[in-house]
Structure 1
Amino acid sequence: MRKLFSFLILLISVSQVYAQAVTGTIQSASDKSGLPGASVVLKRAASEAVLSVTTDVQGTFRFERVQPGSYTLEVHFLGFDMLTRPVQVQQGLVNLGVLSLQEQNTRLSEVQVIGRVPLGEQKGDTTQLNAKAFKTTPDASAEDLVTKMPGVQIQDGRIQAQGEEVRQVMIDGKRFTGDDVSSAMRNISSDMIENVQIFDAQSDQAAFSGFEDGNRLKTINFITKKERRQGYTGKISAGYGTDDRYMLGAAINYFNNSRRITVTGLTNNINMFDFSVGETPGGGMRGRRGGWGGGQPNGIINTNNFGINYQDMWGKKIEVSGNYNYSNRDILNNQYRFRDFVSNDAGLQYIENSQNNDLEDAHRLNFRLQYNINQNNRLLVTPSLTIQQDNSLTERQARTFDQSGTLSESLNRSTSDNATLNFNNNILYSHRFGSSGRILTTNFSTRVSNVEGDGYQLEDTDNFENPDKSILRNQYIRLDRTNVNWSGSANYSQRAGENSRLQLEYTISNQLRDSDKRTFDYEETSGSYSSLNTPLSSTFKSDYLTQSIGPSYQYRKDKTRLQLTTNYQYATLSSNNEFPVNYPLRRNFSNVLPSAEYEYKFSNSQNLTFNYRTATNAPSVEQLQEVLDISNPLQARIGNDELDQDYQNRVNIRYRNFNAENNHVFFIGMFGTMTQNYIANAVYTTSVPEDVANSYELRPGARLSRPVNMDGYWNVRSFFNFGRPLNFISSNFNLNGSIGHSRIPGMIDEQVNYSNNTNLGAGFNISSNISEKIDFTVSTFSSYNIVSNTLQTNQNNNFFNQNTNLRYNWILWKDLVYRTELNHQYNSGLSSGVDNSYLLWNMSLGKKLFKNKQGEVSLSVNDLLKQNVSIRRNITESYVEDVQSTVLQRFFMLTFSYNIRSFAGAQSPQENMERRPGGYRGMH
């Protein structure tokens, strides 16, 4: 500790060359409005050193840690003349004040050079794309726009960019609060957007401290047109169809520069989870719609939903945003599940048919307040609250069998009624010590979650090998589980040379878990659930305390950025199984957690980044609690209170190249994870561990799973995308591919098994830029999976999947609108009894109404061919599983929609479309 204290004194007192800051505001010379998203470049005289930033929503920019000397400032913004001016940096802050840009003179009466609109450019690790280069229909959403762009696609209902899931949406540099990325994008109309920026956003703490912490989020930032920052946009739709299908929804957006308010409401029974300005007739025309967090919605879903999103500036120093969402859902879902087990007894298989009815009622509230107190102090507070009530009913029929026939068969009926509360809050404060370059950042976060509920379970299991051991259960289950997590950190950084900085960080966190689960058997004599079933009951507490401390070194110069971090972590895991027996455990962990990040800019359009991180994770309370879960009697589970934390090594490598001269775009990335002490599953099929034998007996063909720590887990995948224009058909072309391999360890009857899965994928998409009246996108992606197991090589399995999509919108003669979407899914190598392929075809024909064409009546059909199915393959260390679920099939719907478009001093999208020349052209 004395050495560490001496190092801290040295860090504070080290001699330094103080860097300065350069700031200013970019605005339009004509209307004095700020220009967000403008590119500001600072070039050092007689040097290749280049610094670049983009302006925020007010048009403000700031360069940090600028060395004294002579510079040239350049400002670029689409549609405006470039501005240059010399800058002399000496001691103290350099405030350039307001810099005005002149609009380029592009009146039609002057000479025009007709050519191709540039796609965009690469600015360091930010890809900026020009929305004018991607034509969409007038009522298209931001989601329709970005899915035309290179490197952006929808996979399993989630939007991905450059191989990673998009986790955050911004508008003019301000976060769109909430976790539903797709909903956020569908509530921004494409005609509002000037530019689209794709980048890896820093965490709030990293942005405040200036040091990376490895918590980046793939982010899409929409820079809006200045004439679209004041006004209203929205949509109101009502529809009724066959089989009593209905939909009524509204979405209204209010914009007044920094103030933005979005209100949405929806009621329907056609599997829509939200409503937006980008909605299409009948709720279809978007393939498989995503729910909370994306993914594919299975079942028949009735939804009532209300939401409000708010963003504003309270004065000049306080930025706020928040959202509230209420949702009520009734979900009916039937599933067929087939598992082919990896086991010593080759041929063991499992079939399950289940019927599920879930009722969900949820309130979600998020808020964000950033207070820029002054130039040297910032405060950020981000609370969130979720209150949810779940009622479910599940009826399951399952059986296990092998080559000799059925071994066990189970009928199971379970109900549950759970109330869940989650509260999170984070307080982040940063202080800059004047112009000295020293920064102190503190962070404190809390998380409280509680689940209370009860349920009933009926089980009737037949043992075909020994009928005397068949089981009939009637039980009542009560659950009370509370998790309390808190953490705090403090880091201090300062300059340690002309291009270097040092940081010392201390972090402490605590996870407190308390779980009480009691199971009672029904007694015929008393007519009540009064007999406590001790083996199926448990009271468990755990306390996981971690502390870490360590230095970081950062180097920045010209084209290079390097950061090295080493943390020493000491953790204590205390657990106590208080009931049915008192069994305390305490374990200590000591780890060194290194990390490194390197970025090299070959040019303004090419860059390479390398990121290496290490981390530890504690087991969950469900994994630690040694209580039997026999909700599925043939697939029972039990926890393990002797689990240790795991240790992860993660590597990310990315290369980006955007050639603005020929509009060629290339991205490639590799992402890898290797885990020691991975929490795997030990599966027992012939006998159970001694400590479980007194409370549970395996049925023939049944399996008991228990988490255990194992080494040998690793997962690596790569992704590439190449995009370029196709001039001969006025479209954009994107070629993408992926290679991945995973190795999952597990144990089957005390024997180690490694499940290996290699995935090879390739595809392309073509999106039109012909005109605003014709909009199509064609895409296909194929993947081939090679699955092998080390324990039973004769149970290896290969399968193939291909997904092809066509989306076509056409504004016909006399304002008729034709829309169609086809999604073809082909599978080969799945289990027998699972539908291998299908064609989902949605179509509508509409007529624009009223003078301004803002109304539309349309007739749509969803799943015209009645082939819609849901198929999913899951691969684990002990089995390969195919799951087929209920989905919504064919229905017709008549819909009336009205679009609201009103901007201060701006024409409607329809008027703008009619005045622009057709074809894939632009003016320079």
Structure 2
Amino acid sequence: MEKKNQQILHVVSVFVILTLIFTAISQCSVAQTLTSVSGIVKDTTNAAVPGAVVKLFTGIDSTSTVTNTNGSFSFSIVKSRQFKLRIIALGYQSYSNSFVVSQTGPSFSVGTVMLKTSSTLLNTVNIVDVNPVKLKEDTVEFNANAYKVRQGAPVEDMLKKLPGVDVDKSGNVTSQGKTITKVRVNGKDFFGGDVKTATQNLPAELVQNIQVIDDYGDQANLTGIKSGDPEKVLNINIRPDKNYGYFGQATAGEGGDAQQGVLKKGEDNRYVASANLFSFNGDRQIAALANFNNTNTSLFSFGSGGPRGGGPGGPPPGAGSSSNTNGITTARSIGLNYRDQWGKKVTVYGNYSFADNTTNTISSSIQTNNSLTSPSVNNVSNNQTDGKTNHRFNFNLEYKIDTINYLKITPNLTYAGVNTDQTQSSNLTRNGSVLTNYNLNSTLNSTSPNYGGTVLYNHRFNSHGRNFSISASGGSTWLTQTQNPVYNYLAGIATAPANQLISTDVKLDSVGTTLSYIEPLSKRSYLEATYAYKYSKTTSDKETDTLTANGNRNRYNLLSNDFYYTFVTNRFGLNYRFIEKKYNYSFGVSAQPATLIGHSVTTGLDTRNTTYNFAPFARMVYNFSRNQSFVLNYNGSNNQPTYSELQPVIDFSSASYPIQGNPYLKPEFNNVLSLRYNKFSFETGNVFFSNLSFTQTNNKIVANSITYPSVYTPNSKLAGTILTQYLNAAGFYSATGSYMWAKPWEKRKYTLFLNGNVTYNNNISYISNVSAVDYAMRSEKNIAKNLILTQGARFRADITDVIDAEANASYSLTKTDNSLSTNNINNNFRTITLGVSGKNYFFKDWTLSYDFSKVIYQGYQGATNPNILNAYVERRFLKQNVGTLRLSAFDLFNQNTGFTTTQTGSYITQSESNRLGRYFLLSFTLRLQKFAGKRPFGSPGDGPGGMRGPGGFGGPPPAAGG
């Protein structure tokens, strides 16, 4: 019994001891664990610092967060009561401190941490968690550190990761649904603002941040009062440690097209040769670019470059991206960009660009023409070769005379030359019967020099806010053109003369000035008086001769024209502006008289139209916080008619679709209202952008399509044709809405994007028929309600030096409902696009790139659903990886074609064009770079001045992408 009692006592003792041990462990755990650690980060002015990176260290473990809009931060479940905090924020000195929490309780506050501003940039600090987005009044700024790309990649690769920014396969950049029209580097135009020249050639590793700006012009930037329709501008700021050094890259490659699995040489050779050199020496920056290829790679964008032809070939086919440009282009381009500081007061920057491109485009189209009684269908096949030569020179001189006076002078000079050879077959049918069937051979030669300049002067008075500025501009543009269309009529009616020689000489002279005076009413309110004047004069001498079989020339007076017109606008405005910390607003009113005077020497016709418009102006900016803003804009403006819309003589350069202007047209007046709401979350990194705009136009210039019978004796040349004339009409309006939402996680390793756009156009046109019995004309107004709807989704995975990939899907709908019967014409087109693209990095120096897209066309007549697959594999080698060898394959399924649709109240057109198909290319790229204080060549681990990755300066080889 005693032994049993001892055993029981022993068990109880063990139980008590174990209970005490577990209790002690539990108490120790409670003593070592905190449920939360919190604090507030402010600067020395007691203002909150949102977006600061806060790291908490406990032994070898660490965790991080960012401060919210109030500067607050919090950590939960801290494993030890001994920890260290480190706080980093751009523009402030870093903070570091250790804490030992002796007080009891589950939570602990470090209180308010004050950060001091920093006057130097710590380039060696690697910030893992950064504030990726900053929202300002008219600027969205993206921190390059938050959107990592493999070293050597071009800026274009970084743009593809930015929320709200889209880059299509042609390299065109849009932001929040609007096209980026100009690019700047460190706030100054780069190659005249040519967007793709910068985004496809500047290396992303140089970038400190990228800004998307709503730019209202130099004068508005000086005065602060912004009205009118802003231009979407991309500004790329270079890292300060990259402002001393040079970058160089040269690429050479050759390959061939592949048909039925056989690599073909000779005429089907593909080649590329390019070189880029960038030199930075503080304020002096020099860039030289050259590119020669036949892979649809265009170094510069000069516009359309000629009648009916496409652009000069488009951008590089991309890193695993087929050319998305119609036709096949051989391109030869060189350019030079220069920027420097001449003394302390003068800044200069300018560029010269040259391109000599040849593009062959083979296309076919089906155009269905609406009619009150008898619609027609036109089937056209076209083969056209355009040789285009372009020169562009831009220069800017900014002179800061003193602290109150500023002068900017901007001269520019451009030249465009086009030589076109065209063969075309056209078959126009009505009710199953052929109206006109012909073959066309045409040549066209044109030259168009243009020169002009702008002078801007600003004076800031000593009184607070009082300011005067004046801007003056002027220039001249010539167009000298000779065209020889030769028609071979096969069936139906012969409309235009069989052999024409059309000589056109057009000159446009314009001058204008804008004045602004601002008077402060208080510390926060200002009154602005403005005046703007613009005068333009267009003269055109068009001579049309018919050529006989033996070469004799006969003047054709009915198709010749000597016409000129002047357009004068005056704008008087009075605006009020009020500025507060969280909001500012401006409103005002302007009176805009406009006069259009025309005279035809050929017909003796004189015209004069005068209009008066009163337009209110309003702008409001409300900043809910540093990461949430709302902007409202309204403005009104005149829009003058074009020459072709005014000149009264019939243009028969297109046999089936002649054009005749209306000299009695009035200028359009546009009322534009736009709303923008942006929000960024510091805590989650979510980004939301939205835009809404509405445009209503008075005196909208619209087309009047007149269908003539097959027999029309008053003017036999019009028989069987569809003549386009122009009228002013009421009732036009357009509404557009767009949104973009992005959600990142795992420190932006993964991001989901959703974006959508909807546009509704209430288009106005007139459809007329001429009776075959009494030749009386019957006209009716047609309202074409056009809906364009697009919805897309993307998912990105970005793990530096491992994978950079994206899966995407989009659906678009284009639908038009006409108030007049369209006789069962299909007006509903849909496109579904599915794709995946990316780069995988393996074995340290190998890269595999791929880009696959599947396009499904619905509603297009005869359209195929192409599968486009592009890929390349490359290997870095040589000392410190300065060389790259790449094998590229483009359009492996050989299905790259282009389908488009155009819908108006008068017609619906479906078009198909050739594009560069399957080919292979082997290329070699050599890259060199050196920065001050860094080694001439870099390698992994070299730091900011080193080189790692396949891209180098200028990105991947142009023929294989970028």
What is the aligned partner in structure 2 of residue 788 from structure 1?
817
Aligned position for 2:201: 187
The one-letter code of the counterpart of 1:717 is: T
1:718 match = 737
**Deviation readout 1:287-339 (Å, 9 max, x if unpaired):** 355xxxxxx53111111100111122212221211111110011111110111
1:430 to 446, 458, 469: 458
The answer to whether the 8 A contact 1:449-1:482 is kept is yes
Q: 1:578 aligns with which of 595, 601, 620?
A: 601
SS of 1:368's equivalent in the other structure is strand
- 1: distance between equivalents of 2:417 and 2:802? 46
Match among 819, 825, 828 for residue 849 of structure 2:
819
Query: What is the match of residue 81 of structure 1?
Result: 93
Cα shift at 1:883: 0.9
Match of 1:287 in 2: 321
Per-residue CA shift, 1:531-578, capped at 9, x if unaligned? 110111000010111112121111111212111121112222110011
Residue 803 (structure 1) aligned with residue 803 (structure 2):
no
Q: Do the aligned partners of residues 497 and 911 (structure 1) sit closer, same or farther apart at CA in structure 2, a change above 3 Å counting? A: same
The answer to whether the Cα contact below 8 Å between 1:462 and 1:470 also exists between their aligned partners in 2 is: no
Contact 2:208 2:238 in 1 (8 A): yes
Matched, 1:532 2:555: yes
Aligned pair 1:568/2:591, yes or no?
yes
Residues 658 and 909 (structure 1 numbering): CA distance in 2 closer, same or farther, change over 3 Å?
Answer: farther
Q: Is the 8 A contact 1:135 1:768 kept in 2?
A: no
The letter of the residue matching 2:214 is: D
State how far apart, in whole Å, the 1-side matches of 2:808 and 2:252 are. Answer: 31
Matched, 1:250 2:259: no
Partner of 1:625: 647
Residue in structure 2 matched with residue 17 of structure 1 by the alignment: none
Which residue is 2:932 aligned to? 904
Q: Please say if 1:146 is aligned against 2:159.
A: yes
- Is 1:882 matched up with 2:910? yes
**CA distance change for structure 1 residues 649 and 523 in 2, over 3 Å: closer, same or farther?**
same
- 2:774 matches 1:774: no
Deviations 1:118-139 (A, max 9, x none): 4233234432222122221222
1:782 and 1:321 map into 2 onto residues whose CA distance is 43
8 Å CA contact 1:780, 1:805 repeated in 2? yes
| Change in 2 beyond 3 A, CA 1:696/1:597 | farther
Partner Cα distance (1:766, 1:238) in 2: 34
- Could you say if the C-alpha distance between residues 798 and 624 of structure 1 is closer, same or farther in structure 2, counting changes exceeding 3 Å? same
Match of 1:382, SS state, is strand
Structure 1 counterpart of 2:119, from 101, 123, 141: 101
Secondary structure of 2:717's counterpart equals: coil
Q: Distance in 1 between matches of 2:851 and 2:546?
A: 53
Matched, 1:844 2:872: yes
Distance, in Å, in 1 between the alignment partners of 2:177 and 2:315 is: 31
In the TM superposition, what is the alpha-carbon distance from 1:421 to its structure 2 partner? Answer: 0.9
**Residue of structure 1 equivalent to 2:212:** 198
2:587 aligns to what SS in structure 1? strand
Aligned to 2:70: none
* Deviations 1:39-86, CA, capped at 9 Å, x for gaps: xx99988x9999xxxxxxxxxxxxxxxxxxxxxxxx996375279xxx
1:234-633 maps to which residues of 2 (within 5 A)?
234-242=248-256, 243-274=268-299, 284-285=318-319, 287=321, 296-345=324-373, 347-464=375-492, 473-524=498-549, 527-579=550-602, 581-633=603-655
Map of 2:758 onto structure 1: 739
The secondary structure found in structure 1 opposite 2:150 is: coil
Give how far 1:463 is off.
5.0
Corresponding letter in the other structure for 1:201: D
3-state DSSP of counterpart to 1:473: coil
- 1:651 equivalent in alignment to 2:673: yes
Say if 2:859 is the partner of 1:857: no
| Match status 1:127 vs 2:140 | yes
TM-score (norm 1): 0.83
The CA distance in 2 between the partners of 1:716 and 1:391, in whole Å, is 39
Give the one of 140, 149, 167 matched to 1:136.
149
Whole-angstrom CA distance in 1 between matches of 2:398 and 2:123 = 39
Structure 1 residues 494 and 221, CA, compared in 2 at 3 Å: closer, same or farther? same
- After superposition, the Cα gap between the structure-2 partners of 1:501 and 1:864, relative to the gap in structure 1 and judged at 3 Å, is same
Structure 2 distance, partners of 1:478, 1:248, is 39
Amino acid at match of 1:782: Y
Q: CA deviation at 1:618?
A: 1.3
Whole-angstrom CA distance in 2 between matches of 1:751 and 1:862:
50
Distance 1:392 1:115, change over 3 A: closer
Alignment of 1:218 with 2:246, yes or no, is no
CA 1:559–1:213: 2 relative to 1, 3 Å: same
Preserved contact between residue 264 and residue 275 of structure 1 (Cα < 8 Å): no
Deviation at 1:777, TM superposition (A): 2.6
**SS of structure 2 residue aligned to 1:663:** coil
**Change in CA separation of 1:507 and 1:588 when aligned onto 2, cut-off 3 Å:** same
> Is the 1:266–1:303 contact (alpha carbons within 8 Å) kept by the matching residues of 2?
yes
Residue 709, structure 1, aligned to residue 725, structure 2: no
The count of residues paired between Structure 1 and Structure 2 equals: 813
> What SS is found at the alignment partner of 2:654?
coil
**Residues 138, 910 of structure 1: 8 Å contact kept:** no
Residues 475 and 345 of structure 1, relative CA distance in 2, 3 Å threshold: same
Tell me, what secondary structure is at the counterpart of 1:893?
Answer: strand
- Equivalent residue, structure 2, for 1:828: 858
Q: For the residues of structure 2 that align with 1:328 and 1:480, how far apart are their CA atoms? A: 24
Deviation of 1:837 after TM superposition, in Å, equals 1.7
Aligned to 1:660: 682
Cα distance, 1:117 vs structure 2: 4.3
Compared CA separation, residues 905 and 79, structure 1 to 2 (3 A):
farther
Query: Counterpart of 2:673 in structure 1: which amino acid?
Result: V
Name the CA distance, whole Å, in 1 between partners of 2:405 and 2:595.
35
Query: Is the 1:722–1:734 Cα contact (8 Å) retained in structure 2?
Result: yes
Q: How far did residue 428 of structure 1 move?
A: 0.6
Q: CA deviation at 1:142?
A: 0.8
Deviations 1:700-750 (A, max 9, x none): 3x3111111111111111110111213399222211111211111101111
- Structure 2 gaps, min length 5: 1-41, 51-86, 96-115, 257-267, 302-313, 769-778, 949-962
- Superposed CA offset, 1:339-393 (max 9, x none): 1222123552111001101111111111111111111100111121111211111
- Residues of 1 paired with 2:243 and 2:228: CA distance? 34
Residues 105 and 708 of structure 1, relative CA distance in 2, 3 Å threshold: closer
Q: How far apart, in 1, do the equivalents of 2:48 and 2:891 lie? A: 58
| Separation in 2, partners of 1:487, 1:618 | 15
Q: Is the 8 A contact 1:265 1:275 kept in 2?
A: no
**d(CA) in 1 for partners of 2:44 and 2:672?**
35
Aligned partners of 1:169 and 1:184 also within 8 Å: yes
Conservation of the 8 A alpha-carbon contact between 2:91 and 2:117: no
